[in-house]
Amino acid sequence: MPLGRRAFSAAALSATLAGVPSPLPAATLAPPSLAQRLATPRFSRLELLKPDLTTSRPDTLHYPSWMLGTWRVENAVVAFSMPLGSAFVDDFVQQSARADVRKAEELSYQLRWVRAPAPAGDGALVAVQDRGFNALQETRAFLGEDGTCEAAAFAMSTSAPHGELRLGFRDEEAALSNPLRPPPRLIEQLVIEWCQWQRLGVPGGEGEGFVTSELIRQQLLGEGEPPMQVESIVRYISPRSPLDLP
């Protein structure tokens, strides 16, 4: 169903298809060099992240204190590439992404980070995303006229220790076919199966930055579609840093 695939594009800013996570080893290994994976222009040599080579962070992503607060995001769609080939990206996603690039799509919305207890071993990471708020803002901005996102909820549980996000969409096709009856909601489920982060530069210094990666299982519930596995990898640069960092 097109809406489901388009909705996921809205929920993950920088996504590339990744392999299904393998069971993670008990030993704590060095985190992957996430910054190196983003260094190549347009991700032209981006390789699959192998989660079986390093353990996941134990809960959800945590961020530095300079990310606390509500931010106005100006998002410009400038390029689309398929590092692993077109076989991994369905036709609808390709067409939608290329259309956005041709239109030079520019989006404006808000994202929010709130204070939370720091993870063990890194007391400076006291911020987490307000996931429900962020998903609603971002999804509505990206979807535009393609659908209506009515609700978003985020929760962490035993079955989803890194977090599960659910987005509720108005079923526009059902509304058109029976305008006298309130249309049912389509539920998009995004389960975070693995997450990591990496610091850039010296905390408090001019080159300070932060890179995060999440492996996400996404599925439109109740529609008979198989789940998709994607990686969302994002680099954040401190306001104290120059914007032309490599």
Spatial distance between the Cα atoms of 27 and 30, rounded to a whole number of angstroms: 10
Q: Domain coordinates of the chain in residue numbers?
A: 2-237
Q: Which pLDDT value is given to residue 163? A: 95
pLDDT of residue 36: 75
Q: How far apart are CA 232 and CA 92, in angstroms?
A: 19
> 229: buried, middle or exposed (CB in 10 Å: 19+, 13-18, 0-12)?
middle
- Tens-place pLDDT, residues 137-156: 988 888 765 557 888 999 99
* pLDDT for the residue 104: 80
Q: In the chain, what percentage of residues exceed pLDDT 90?
A: 28
Q: Give me the helices (H) in the chain, please.
A: 2-11, 34-38, 91-102, 131-143, 172-177
pLDDT of residue 176: 60
User: 97-107: per-residue pLDDT in tens?
Assistant: 888 888 887 88
Task: Yes or no: say if 11 and 139 are a contact pair by the CB < 8 Å rule.
Answer: yes
